[in-house]
Chains A and B, each alone.
Chain A
Amino acid sequence: MKKFLSGNEAVARGLFEAGVQVGSAYPGTPSTEIFETLNQYEGIYHEWAPNEKVALEVAYGASIAGVRSVAAMKHVGLNVAADPMFTAAYNGVGRGFVIISADDPGMHSSQNEQDNRHYARAAKIPMFEPADSQDALDMMREAYDVSEMYDIPVLYRMTTRVCHARCLVTENDPLTPEPLAYTRNAKKYIAAPAHAVVHRMELEEKVQKLAAYSETCRFNKMDIRGNEIGVVTAGGASLIAREVFPEDTSFLTLGFTWPLPLKLIREFAKQVETLYVVEELDPFMEDQIKAAGIECIGKDVIPRMYELNPTILKEALTGEPTPLKTVEAKVVPRPPVLCPGCPHRGFFYTLSSRKDTIIAADIGCYTLGGLAPLSAIDTVVCMGAGFTVAMGMAKAFEKTGDKKTVFGVMGDSTFFHSGITGAIEILYNKGNVIPVVLDNSTTSMTGQQDNPGTGYTLMGQIADVISIEAMFGAIGYKKVFTVDPQDLKAMKQTIDEAIACEERCAIVVRRPCVLIKRIQHEQALCRVDRDLCRSCRRCLSVGCPAIFFVDGKSMIDPNLCVGCTVCLQVCPFDAIVKE
């Protein structure tokens, strides 16, 4: 019977069917559910690594030692993991090794929309691009075969709409591949220059062979329906192209997209009068096709930015606008917000009223502390950059004479991901920075995954809790403050003390996220006494979605409030009560 699976669920099934035994990943939208789904299958060790580089290395180690393995991450995670990937391409694999990269065209949940197909070409590793959930399942087995046959890691490139779209999927029986017996092989696995120069040549030979494989790969499919228009397309974009082009259009749909099957493309191009290349984001295929001397139309008409959809593609091809009706009414933007009861609120509220601080923050729910009305963040770059960008700013301020106190701010998961080196940098190089970890005891932005500080593993085992305070202490911070952000008085006092502190200090701001299911959260409600409310709007400055202003006074939506009392503490007229 067919199942209605998301691309991520289908990938998990594909990993199971391919006999994968070890997997390591770091959460990141749109890739996260792949590993959350692996729990359904017996026999696969799977974990959340502290970061993507660790994940890729763990999976690679398992491949070297003789079992099929996988690493999964979102697109920006592959930047973090790129170092081992490039060298794993040189050394080759033991058992099959697949690296899943989930890109996010349109930046639904990301800080950029980099096109990770370039990584396949740059690292010279083969790449699959499933278009839907059935592909996502079926291609996985082939990806492991390719990895083993050509002795190379494989990049499995997904996009948001492939990961999060559902369609009907036929499952297959799982394989049980024999593990390889491990024996030491220094020439293969010690990446020293003398070995690397040899691997370099071997890699070039592998790429040649993979180019030949690409020409006959069963996932590169030609469908000739007419001689006028032909479309070369791949991945999620292929479904959009199918929908938009006329019935008599011929298609060359590619599921294996690096190395490209250039002979096949040339042969296809000969059979049609006009050739289009339809791909999302960069002209990755188009540039290579044009460089091969094949004429085609692509990014000269089709947008190279954002997500494609049938309307956008149709308008690009025809130059005609889609008939639309416009409702004559203005809408207000509705960006995501810190939840009612979010522990990050107390920290950002406390800093939002200060004019003497700079906050280099990071990526997580707390990024939302940069939005109005809290507006308490100066910079956000990438995971881990909170501490280090703060460091650079502090060094610059030493030159410019700016006297502001610089805080480097990140969440617990981000601290374990790539904050620890920044904490070392600040101490070692005498930075005038106070590192702050907002520890909500979960990786919340991506859906509350466990991390090295939470005491649980992905497979549900009890784990050692790695103490953030002890880490700061071990690095050499002389004073580590721990504070509950929901106690605004204590929060303010801690900030004041840290700024005045003569010793090197760090702050751990700790309260669990209200969305953590494992915890019994206090059930309470705050209410505005409308007789006491003097319309000063101070409670609105905490940026809580449960509070709104009606008929000249504040009100709290009882369906949203969780009784955290941050608004109650800021009200100068005691007009908010807890019940």
Chain B
Amino acid sequence: MTMNNVKTILLAGVGGQGTILVSRILTHALITAGFDVKMSEIHGMAQRGGSVSTTVRYGDKVDSPLVGKGAADVLVSFELMEAVRWSDWLKPDGVIVVNDYKIRPLPVASGVADYPDNYLSALNEQFRVVAFDAGGKAEELGNARVMNVIMLGAMVEAFAMDAFDWDGALKKHVPPKFLEINRKAFETGRMLARKSS
């Protein structure tokens, strides 16, 4: 049995939202800190706008690269409905960090189904939730694409992972000309998480 010091982070979103960069930065920082790390991602069909998830696990020694329901410590969701979809993969005391942003699945977009508006309160009833409009914040910072690094910063704060060398990991994975804005995005995420919890 795997030592129970293994932690599991689940990144969820919609195909095309770019969870990849976040998982790269995340795993880089964890590996640099000396952990055994495994990561599992899904390629192919689902990337065409479908629901996607990436699992990152770290600890002294990690066996399985993936987990099942009821097993993740943190769920970082880049989209609101995806947070609900993946919420039962969390441990009962798990934490959710969610981008308060809606991407309408086709049945909703075409008016056949509704996008419920009670998601945040429903999530809050069961879990500790850190929620904010990361996309809007990213635009305020001047680049909508740094939404993902804002989410990363929020996760680091919400899951008390500040002891890692995040700046080193950012430097390694972000092109130099975008480093400053990503640093800002990261700090913004941390600040938003502090405020919202």
Q: What is the CA–CA distance of A245 and B63 in the complex, to the nearest angstrom?
A: 12
B88 touches A326 (CB 8 A): yes
B63 touches A243 (CB 8 A): yes
Give min CB distance, B31 to chain A, whole Å.
Answer: 6
Q: What is the CA–CA distance of A545 and B50 in the complex, to the nearest angstrom?
A: 11
A164 touches B42 (CB 8 A): yes
Give min CB distance, A526 to chain B, whole Å.
Answer: 15
A-B contacts, 10 listed (Cβ < 8 Å)? A160-B42, A165-B41, A243-B64, A311-B67, A311-B68, A325-B92, A329-B122, A332-B113, A336-B49, A446-B44
Q: Among the listed stretches A93-101, A365-373, A458-466, A504-512, which one makes contact with chain B, having 4 or more residues with CB under 8 Å of it?
A: A365-373
Q: Given A322-B69, A549-B111, A336–B122 Cβ distance below 8 Å?
A: no
A331 touches B84 (CB 8 A): yes
B88 touches A311 (CB 8 A): no
Chain A hits for B51, CB < 8 A = 334
A243 contact from B1, B37, B44, B109, Cβ within 8 A? B1
Chain B hits for A543, CB < 8 A = 106, 110
Give min CB distance, B138 to chain A, whole Å.
Answer: 11
Chain A residue total in the interface (Cβ 8 A): 63
Q: Given A310-B67, A540-B110, A445–B45 Cβ distance below 8 Å?
A: yes
| Cβ contacts A318-331/B at 8 Å (1 or 0 each) | 00001111111111
A324 touches B69 (CB 8 A): yes
Chain B hits for A329, CB < 8 A = 84, 116, 118-119, 122-123
- State whether the Cβ of A338 lies closer than 8 Å to any Cβ in chain B: yes
- State whether the Cβ of A158 lies closer than 8 Å to any Cβ in chain B: no
Q: What is the CA–CA distance of A540 and B82 in the complex, to the nearest angstrom?
A: 23
Q: What is the CA–CA distance of A51 and B70 in the complex, to the nearest angstrom?
A: 41
Chain A hits for B47, CB < 8 A = 336
B105 touches A325 (CB 8 A): no
B45 touches A109 (CB 8 A): yes
Give min CB distance, B92 to chain A, whole Å.
Answer: 5
Residue of B nearest to A331 (CB): B85
Chain A hits for B127, CB < 8 A = 325, 327
B65 contact from A30, A165, A365, A541, Cβ within 8 A? A165
- State whether the Cβ of A333 lies closer than 8 Å to any Cβ in chain B: yes
A333 touches B144 (CB 8 A): no
A-B contact sample (8 more), CB < 8 A, given A30-B43, A332-B108: A165-B66, A326-B87, A328-B122, A332-B107, A334-B51, A336-B50, A373-B110, A545-B49
Q: Given A108-B44, A328-B122, A247–B104 Cβ distance below 8 Å?
A: no
| Cβ contacts A435-448/B at 8 Å (1 or 0 each) | 00000000001110
Chain A hits for B15, CB < 8 A = 336
Give min CB distance, B126 to chain A, whole Å.
Answer: 4
Chain A hits for B144, CB < 8 A = 559
| Cβ contacts B1-22/A at 8 Å (1 or 0 each) | 1100000000000110000000
B48 touches A365 (CB 8 A): yes
A239 touches B63 (CB 8 A): yes
Residue of B nearest to A339 (CB): B48
A332 touches B88 (CB 8 A): no
- State whether the Cβ of B97 lies closer than 8 Å to any Cβ in chain A: no
Chain B hits for A547, CB < 8 A = 109
Chain A contacts with B in 1-55, Cβ cutoff 8 A? 4, 29-30, 32-33
B123 contact from A310, A327, A336, A548, Cβ within 8 A? A327
- State whether the Cβ of B191 lies closer than 8 Å to any Cβ in chain A: no
Chain B contacts with A in 86-132, Cβ cutoff 8 A? 87-88, 90, 92, 104-113, 115-116, 118-119, 122-123, 125-127
A4 touches B118 (CB 8 A): no
Give min CB distance, B29 to chain A, whole Å.
Answer: 12
Residue of A nearest to B116 (CB): A329
Give min CB distance, A335 to chain B, whole Å.
Answer: 6
B71 touches A310 (CB 8 A): yes
* Most B C-beta atoms less than 10 A away, residue of A322, A327, A372, A559: A327
Chain B hits for A327, CB < 8 A = 84, 87-88, 122-123, 125-127
A161 touches B84 (CB 8 A): no
Q: What is the CA–CA distance of A54 and B146 in the complex, to the nearest angstrom?
A: 44
Give min CB distance, A320 to chain B, whole Å.
Answer: 12
- State whether the Cβ of B46 lies closer than 8 Å to any Cβ in chain A: yes
Chain A hits for B49, CB < 8 A = 334, 336-337, 339, 545
Chain A hits for B2, CB < 8 A = 242-243
Give min CB distance, B24 to chain A, whole Å.
Answer: 9
B27 touches A4 (CB 8 A): yes
Chain A contacts with B in 249-305, Cβ cutoff 8 A? none
Give min CB distance, A164 to chain B, whole Å.
Answer: 6
A109 touches B111 (CB 8 A): no
Q: What is the CA–CA distance of A338 and B81 in the complex, to the nearest angstrom?
A: 20
Chain B hits for A391, CB < 8 A = none
Chain A contacts with B in 160-175, Cβ cutoff 8 A? 160-161, 164-168
A334 touches B68 (CB 8 A): no
Chain B hits for A245, CB < 8 A = 1
- State whether the Cβ of A132 lies closer than 8 Å to any Cβ in chain B: yes
- State whether the Cβ of A207 lies closer than 8 Å to any Cβ in chain B: no
Residue of A nearest to B108 (CB): A332
A311 touches B111 (CB 8 A): no
B68 touches A310 (CB 8 A): yes
Chain A hits for B82, CB < 8 A = 334
Q: What is the CA–CA distance of A330 and B108 in the complex, to the nearest angstrom?
A: 13
Q: What is the CA–CA distance of A336 and B15 in the complex, to the nearest angstrom?
A: 8
| Cβ contacts A384-411/B at 8 Å (1 or 0 each) | 0000000000000000000000000000
- State whether the Cβ of A317 lies closer than 8 Å to any Cβ in chain B: no
A326 touches B126 (CB 8 A): yes
- State whether the Cβ of A309 lies closer than 8 Å to any Cβ in chain B: yes
Chain A hits for B184, CB < 8 A = none
Residue of B nearest to A33 (CB): B43
Q: Given A30-B44, A161-B40, A337-B48, A324–B70 Cβ distance below 8 Å?
A: yes
Q: Given A164-B40, A312-B68, A327-B84, A247–B1 Cβ distance below 8 Å?
A: yes
- State whether the Cβ of A246 lies closer than 8 Å to any Cβ in chain B: yes
Residue of A nearest to B118 (CB): A329
A335 touches B106 (CB 8 A): yes
